[in-house]
A and B are shown apart, each in its own frame.
Chain A
Amino acid sequence: MNESLLILTAVAAISLGTPLIFATVGEIITERAGILNLGVQGMMLVGAVSGFWATFVSGSLILGVVVAMVAAAGLAAVHAFTSITLRVSQIVSGLALTLFGTGLASFLGRAGSEPLVGSPSRKVFVPLLDGAMTEIPVVGPLLFGHDALVYLAVIVAGVASYYLFHTHLGLSLRAVGEDPASAESAGVNVTWVRYAHVMVGGALAGLGGAYFSLALVPTWQDDPIGAAGWIAIALVILASWRPWRAVFAAYLFGAAERFQFTLQTLGEPWSNVPSTLLAMLPFVLAIVAMIVLTSGKRARFLGAPAALGIPYFREQR
């Protein structure tokens, strides 16, 4: 493999990783509040279809992104209600969200007299700083010529990291996920913190979904995001619940995804390997990385919130 192929893979990894950054950071924020939301896939799909629709109707990309975030946050609010207020199993509620979101996205794509399915997006996120700067060897194509959301994703991860570790609200969030009873005794409103962050997490998942339909594959199709939502949940563990590491985890996965395409184009002996087998490569990578990271003594220092998935009831005795 020559140098340009390597750079091409890296550049593609950045695009493929960007929606995963949004979704992973969103899920990190959600899980840091102690709520496991397995509905990422559903929220991303609803974000993808509603963002696509809003841009299709209005012609505004900004509006598309906002609608995608609001719609997914709305879906997350349902999960917040069932898991925080009703205290039902978060796993069941999250899975239901994914099933519902998948069906809803497919339905909305086909609904109405003028279905979205098969239509190209009216507007698409275009590369910024494209031109002379991308000519700089190696760093040029890596740093420049991406669309706005690529940069926004990195900024979101940076802001989330600062928020989590250097602000009072971030401290409350971490405490609520670790030990809600102690947090509440210290005067933190556990219910409010959980609701707010589950919805913020949903909004980011929606944004990740919209990246697929407005930038990566800007034509509406039934299943535009693949398994991105599920991958994001795995990447949370790979990033050990730290937003900044999510950037690297997402790019790594993006690279793996691109790499398997690259392999298919390399000719003998790779062309003999069934492409479906190569398509499994990124997932195998994710599983191996998780096993390496979470096995043995390392697991304890990983940083999983101690109260993750456990409903909180103040007057429990």
Chain B
Amino acid sequence: MTIGSPDTLAVELVDVDKAFYGVKANDRVNFQLARGEIHALLGENGAGKSTLCSILAGLYRPDAGEMFLEGRAVTFKSPKDALAAGIGMVYQHFRLVPNLTVAENFALGYPDVGFRLEEKELYRAAEELGERYGLPVDPSARIWQLSVGEQQRVEILKLLYRNAKVLILDEPTAVLTPQESTALFATMRQMAAEGRSVIFVSHKLHEVKEVSDQVTVLRDGKVVAGVATKDAEPADLARMMVGRDLVLPTRDPQTEFGPIMLSVDGLRVQDDRGLEAVSGVSFDVRAGEIVGVAGVSGNGQRELAYGLFGLRALTSGTVTIDGVDITEASVLEHIESGFAYIPQARLEMGLAPGMTTEDNLALKAFWHAPYSKGRRLVASAFRDEGTRQIEQYDIRGVRPGLPIRLLSGGNLQKALVAREVELKSKILIARSPTRGLDVGATEVVRNLILAERSRGIGVLLISEDLDELLALSDRILVLYEGEVVGEMPCEEATAERLGLLMAGQREIVSP
């Protein structure tokens, strides 16, 4: 029952079902991908985009339904089969082996090769491909030495090296600067012009509008719309995605702030390798103010947050919260003196994945009443407080006794933010709080952060998402190679200006 001509159709899915733990991630999904097309896949977290992509890439096997490749029915047992058929995927979490070189990652799993590893040959091929597609890479570099943007290039080149006809890019722009995204779009268009098909997964509506030819919108595992991009307005797409009108919250402009809540002076922090990652950073955050920290990933954001929260010893500098010096304080003392912290790695650092949602919600507050009576824990308080917070913060999918890691990304983040907000802190440090979240969850998290601002605490928002920084921050700092290279009130900031600073171009101040 192939619809459309097999001559122009690269891939078609018919009535595909896939369930996890009884929850339907894909529900009778129909999807058509034309040859030479850039096809955007839109949807909230848990809408089934990643599942759909993983089925196409052979990682998951559908429970039911059929897949056609250029008109022929196919079944993939593994990603190997999909790759052999010309379908490759760049996952959101890159699938590169960190300890191997770029060239070795190219060769890994490559079919039809001899016994020996021809390194010279690989180097040449990698360089040639990089040149042809404007994606330069050093083939002898090890993956862990590369920036996130470079790793993404390697992923794309790896697929082109195998001459993939269908390339699936799962949220590729989430880790890029605006300029890098623009370059990526050019590469995507070049690939499409060669007759390859590109599936582009994104939450950012303006990007979908900018680069794609066709859009498919998923909601709750079902396809709710499939339209030509030129016929759809961003607002329409957003409505289709969440099923209601939605405008992401932004701050109300304000110029009066309270006293200084957080004061940082001459902060120096080392990274894991013992090299200086934060080089003399100073700034203040006032009550009722959101200070944004922009920067490309790996420019000292992680170490800045660790240093502020006491997770890593400072080389030098002082940190004061509400007038109290906490430079030497332990993590627990940070929490007790009014620090709340939303780390970037939700499951790794923010939550204990194997514990229940209720326990996770109590994780920072269980030292005190109502969770504790003296040195004893009060089981009923964990239950009651948990139930209240799960309801109040609209955390969905919680099943009693089951570990929190089974929740979707958006609900995990709601739980994490809820726990930090419940601390009633004086300072909130949030790192990429809406990274990878869908529009609905983003709305909830943004509102919670804005509510903290209204409550009159200081918020430090460290993010790689410029849209978010521009929407929420009162003031924006730009971090580049561990230094603050720019500072401006939000009104004077634009994506272009921030993008240039993030790329290391210092501004020439005209006298």
- Interface residues of A, Cβ cutoff 8 Å to B: 165-172, 174-175, 178-179, 181-189, 297, 306, 314-315, 317
Known interface pairs A183-B109, A317-B20. Does A168 touch B115 (Cβ–Cβ under 8 Å)? yes
- Interface residues of B, Cβ cutoff 8 Å to A: 20, 57, 59-60, 78-80, 83-84, 89, 91, 94-100, 104-105, 107-111, 113-117, 158, 274
Contacts of B96 in A (CB 8 A): 179, 182
Contacts of A166 in B (CB 8 A): 116-117
Expressed in whole angstroms, the minimum distance between the Cβ of B164 and any Cβ of chain A is 11
Asked whether, in the complex, the Cβ of B100 is within 8 Å of the Cβ of A172, the reply is: no
Asked whether, in the complex, the Cβ of B115 is within 8 Å of the Cβ of A182, the reply is: no
Q: When chains A and B are docked, how far (Å) is the Cα of A233 from the Cα of B111?
A: 34
Contacts of B105 in A (CB 8 A): 182, 186
Contacts of B83 in A (CB 8 A): 186-187
Asked whether, in the complex, the Cβ of A171 is within 8 Å of the Cβ of B107, the reply is: yes
Asked whether, in the complex, the Cβ of B80 is within 8 Å of the Cβ of A175, the reply is: no
Known interface pairs A314-B59, A315-B60. Does A188 touch B108 (Cβ–Cβ under 8 Å)? yes
Q: Can you spell out 13 A-B residue pairs with CB atoms less than 8 angstroms apart?
A: A167-B117, A168-B113, A168-B116, A171-B108, A178-B97, A178-B98, A182-B105, A186-B109, A187-B109, A187-B111, A189-B80, A314-B59, A315-B59
Question: Which of B99, B104, B107 lies at the interface centre, i.e. has the most chain A CB atoms within 10 A of its CB?
Answer: B99
Contacts of A184 in B (CB 8 A): 59, 78-80
Contacts of B98 in A (CB 8 A): 178-179, 306
Contacts of B107 in A (CB 8 A): 168, 171
The listed residue (A175, A188, A189, A317) touching B100 by CB distance below 8 A is A175
Q: When chains A and B are docked, how far (Å) is the Cα of A169 from the Cα of B109?
A: 9
Asked whether, in the complex, the Cβ of B97 is within 8 Å of the Cβ of A185, the reply is: no
Expressed in whole angstroms, the minimum distance between the Cβ of B103 and any Cβ of chain A is 10
Asked whether, in the complex, the Cβ of B99 is within 8 Å of the Cβ of A178, the reply is: yes
Asked whether, in the complex, the Cβ of B108 is within 8 Å of the Cβ of A172, the reply is: yes
Asked whether, in the complex, the Cβ of A172 is within 8 Å of the Cβ of B117, the reply is: no
Question: Which of B20, B84, B116 lies at the interface centre, i.e. has the most chain A CB atoms within 10 A of its CB?
Answer: B116
Question: Which of A165, A174, A185, A314 lies at the interface centre, i.e. has the most chain B CB atoms within 10 A of its CB?
Answer: A185
Asked whether, in the complex, the Cβ of B97 is within 8 Å of the Cβ of A182, the reply is: yes
Asked whether, in the complex, the Cβ of B60 is within 8 Å of the Cβ of A186, the reply is: no
Contacts of A169 in B (CB 8 A): 115
Q: When chains A and B are docked, how far (Å) is the Cα of A178 from the Cα of B98?
A: 8
Contacts of A189 in B (CB 8 A): 78, 80
Taking CB as reference atom, which chain A residue is nearest B114? A168
Q: When chains A and B are docked, how far (Å) is the Cα of A219 from the Cα of B255?
A: 91
Asked whether, in the complex, the Cβ of B79 is within 8 Å of the Cβ of A187, the reply is: yes
Asked whether, in the complex, the Cβ of A187 is within 8 Å of the Cβ of B110, the reply is: yes
Asked whether, in the complex, the Cβ of A182 is within 8 Å of the Cβ of B95, the reply is: yes
The listed residue (A168, A181, A297) touching B110 by CB distance below 8 A is A168
Asked whether, in the complex, the Cβ of A181 is within 8 Å of the Cβ of B95, the reply is: yes
Asked whether, in the complex, the Cβ of A175 is within 8 Å of the Cβ of B116, the reply is: no
Asked whether, in the complex, the Cβ of A306 is within 8 Å of the Cβ of B99, the reply is: yes
Expressed in whole angstroms, the minimum distance between the Cβ of B215 and any Cβ of chain A is 26
Known interface pairs A168-B115, A306-B99. Does A186 touch B158 (Cβ–Cβ under 8 Å)? yes
Asked whether, in the complex, the Cβ of B95 is within 8 Å of the Cβ of A186, the reply is: yes
Q: When chains A and B are docked, how far (Å) is the Cα of A237 from the Cα of B420?
A: 42
Q: When chains A and B are docked, how far (Å) is the Cα of A315 from the Cα of B55?
A: 11
Contacts of A170 in B (CB 8 A): 117
Expressed in whole angstroms, the minimum distance between the Cβ of B374 and any Cβ of chain A is 37
Q: When chains A and B are docked, how far (Å) is the Cα of A179 from the Cα of B110?
A: 16
Q: When chains A and B are docked, how far (Å) is the Cα of A215 from the Cα of B104?
A: 41
Contacts of A186 in B (CB 8 A): 79, 83, 95, 105, 108-110, 158
Contacts of A168 in B (CB 8 A): 107, 110, 113-117
Taking CB as reference atom, which chain B residue is nearest A190? B78
Question: Which of A181, A182, A183, A189 lies at the interface centre, i.e. has the most chain B CB atoms within 10 A of its CB?
Answer: A182
Extra contacts besides A175-B100, A315-B20, A315-B60 (16): CB < 8 Å: A167-B115, A169-B115, A171-B117, A172-B108, A175-B104, A178-B98, A178-B100, A179-B97, A182-B97, A182-B105, A182-B108, A185-B89, A186-B79, A186-B83, A186-B109, A314-B59
Q: When chains A and B are docked, how far (Å) is the Cα of A181 from the Cα of B109?
A: 12
Expressed in whole angstroms, the minimum distance between the Cβ of B20 and any Cβ of chain A is 6
Contacts of A317 in B (CB 8 A): 20
Contacts of A183 in B (CB 8 A): 97, 108-109
Taking CB as reference atom, which chain A residue is nearest B80? A187
Contacts of A315 in B (CB 8 A): 20, 59-60
Expressed in whole angstroms, the minimum distance between the Cβ of A173 and any Cβ of chain B is 11
